[in-house]
Amino acid sequence: MKTYITVLSAMFLLATGASAQRTTGQIVSDAADQLRYQASRIPEDGKFPRTLVTDYSIPEVAYHLERAPKDFYPETGMAKHPSVKDFSTVAYVNYHDWTSGFYPGSLWLAYEMTGNEDLRDLAAKYTNQLLPVSRKKDTHDLGFMVNCSYGNALRLAPDDSIKNVIVATADNLIGRFDPKVGLIRSWDWGKWNYPVIIDNMMNLQLLFNASKLTGDPKYRDIAVKHADKTMRNHFRSDYSSYHVVSYTPDGRVESRGTYQGKSHDSAWSRGQAWGLYGYTECYRETGEKRYLDQARNIASLIMRKNEAPDRVPYWDLDARTAPDSPRDASAGAICASALIELSTFVPEWEGKIYRDYAMQILDALSSDKYTAPKCANGGFILMHSTGSMPQGSEIDTPLNYADYYYLESLARLKRIQDGKTPGDWDRIAGKKIRKSKKSK
């Protein structure tokens, strides 16, 4: 596939493989319009757009899982849906949902790239509605929720009230670290004794940021312990990862398997993307070569196993590769964002491989095959993500985190072009935090 993007050239141009070519500026401007459209439709304060409601039939899901319907129902608890697809309803969530930070985060990223103040105002408005998250203790997803919202606010509109939210949330996140197990607990529900999911790697940035803001290494130390033990126990010899590893109270592995992937032994696409992103981030924050090596190995696993012709992965890297196999645009966007950053940590010949791969994903996502027409798709930027196939949930539909990591990929390219580091969280270190009005 021809890739049009020129990352480090004077002309920052991303044109799509589809007939209508758009410059990166137009792509970002169109995406910002979608976010504005979403804001105009949000029914009440405290609600955040997550996805469009879709229903799938059990035989349809069984086909993609390559299992007989009787073999997985009712184990998953999936309701018997009629075979309908209703793309007309936006599903909104409140602050408790793990995805609540992505819509405010997307607004921050759109503001970063455009400088449009209305986007900053919307970003601040929806970020402030997440304040109660800083009191939550019942999930590991606090990093997603608060770092994407308040974390981006800290980079782009710093204020010392933001620091308080980040540190309070980080305190609650490290409260989920059991020293006997040596990991942060992911879920408080389900059949597992002490479940840790690969997604949890994404919550560590909040802890690195909390250490930088406070000067207290305790947050960072826990992040490092979590990353190291995950590296030991979540990965197979080919560097693909299990989704869920559960531990005994004294920290031994109790079980390894999946919840959202095709099978316990498969490589669930988004899980591989979370791992790639998480270890790239750990390398940026610590400079420890073991994390860089882990990220490189995961990157080659993904590039080797991803059989999607346009590089936007099928929902599981071991899924059917038939044209009707649902894609996961969110996994593609997360990979693209991670690969762009990883490309800056390795020799140029190797970086070019990662960058070219990321550009192929972004080229595809920016085409009309994945980018929705304006004011359609519930205002979500991208189509064709998959939330959880075994649960029959959010299949071939938009997801707010696909939009977030797609915009972050574009923002990372812009940062590189502007002479900044693509990760950009390093700017928080030593940043002078402006006094909030209240504390003046």
Q: Which of 105/387 has CB closer to ligand GLY? A: 387
* CA neighbor of 223 nearest in space, from 209, 237, 236: 209
Query: Which residue in the block uniquely carries the two structure tokens 């002078």?
Result: 432
Residue nearest to ligand GLY (CB): 199
Which secondary-structure segment (H or E) carries 92? Answer: strand 90-93
* CA neighbor of 60 nearest in space, from 87, 81, 89, 86: 81
Q: Which of 22, 234, 270, 355 binds ligand GLY (CB under 6 A)?
A: 270
Shortest Å distance, C-beta 225 to ligand GLY = 21
Count CB neighbours of 267 within 10 A: 27
Shortest Å distance, C-beta 2 to ligand GLY = 31
Helix ranges (H only) for 81-159 are 102-114, 117-128, 142-146, 152-156
| Burial readout 237-246 (b: 16 or more C-beta within 10 A, e: otherwise) | eebbbbbbbb
Q: Is 328 a catalytic residue?
A: no
Of the residues 97, 159, 199, 403, only one is catalytic, namely: 199
Of the residues 45, 71, 138, 141, only one is catalytic, namely: 141
Q: Which of 337/343 has CB closer to ligand GLY? A: 337
Q: Which of 199/285 has CB closer to ligand GLY? A: 199
Q: Which of 16/409 has CB closer to ligand GLY? A: 409
Q: Which of 199, 328, 363, 396 binds ligand GLY (CB under 6 A)?
A: 199
Shortest Å distance, C-beta 390 to ligand GLY = 12
CB 337 within 8 A of CB 405: yes
What are all long-range contacts of 289-292, with beta carbons under 8 Å and residues at least 24 apart? 290/228, 290/231, 291/227, 291/231, 292/345, 292/346
Per-residue contact flags (x/-) with ligand GLY for residues 84 to 123, judged by CB under 6 A? --------------x-------------------------
Q: Which of 24/200 has CB closer to ligand GLY? A: 200
Shortest Å distance, C-beta 152 to ligand GLY = 19
Q: Which of 92/144 has CB closer to ligand GLY? A: 144
Q: Which residues between 334 and 373 bind ligand GLY (CB under 6 A)?
A: none
| 243: contact with ligand GLY by CB under 6 A | no
* CA neighbor of 382 nearest in space, from 313, 329, 327: 329
Per-residue contact flags (x/-) with ligand GLY for residues 380 to 399, judged by CB under 6 A? -------x------------
Shortest Å distance, C-beta 102 to ligand GLY = 11
Shortest Å distance, C-beta 161 to ligand GLY = 28
Shortest Å distance, C-beta 198 to ligand GLY = 9
Token pair for 208: 């690195």
Q: Which of 151/387 has CB closer to ligand GLY? A: 387
Site residue total, ligand GLY (CB under 6 A): 5
Return the ∠ at Cα 260 (arms to 295 and 98), rounded to 5°. Answer: 80
The single-letter code of the amino acid at 440 is K
Radius of gyration of the chain (CA): 20
SS3 readout for 177-223: EECCCCEECCCCCCCCCCEEEHHHHHHHHHHHHHHHHHCCCHHHHHH
d(CA 146, CA 148): 6
Instruction: Please tell me what DSSP assigns to residue 373.
Output: P
Shortest Å distance, C-beta 180 to ligand GLY = 25
Q: How far apart are the first and last CA of the chain?
A: 56
Q: Is 141 a catalytic residue?
A: yes
3-state DSSP assignment of residue 130: coil
Q: Which of 28/361 has CB closer to ligand GLY? A: 361
Residue ranges in contact with ligand GLY by CB under 6 A: 98, 199, 260, 270, 387
Any idea which residues carry the catalytic annotation? 141, 199
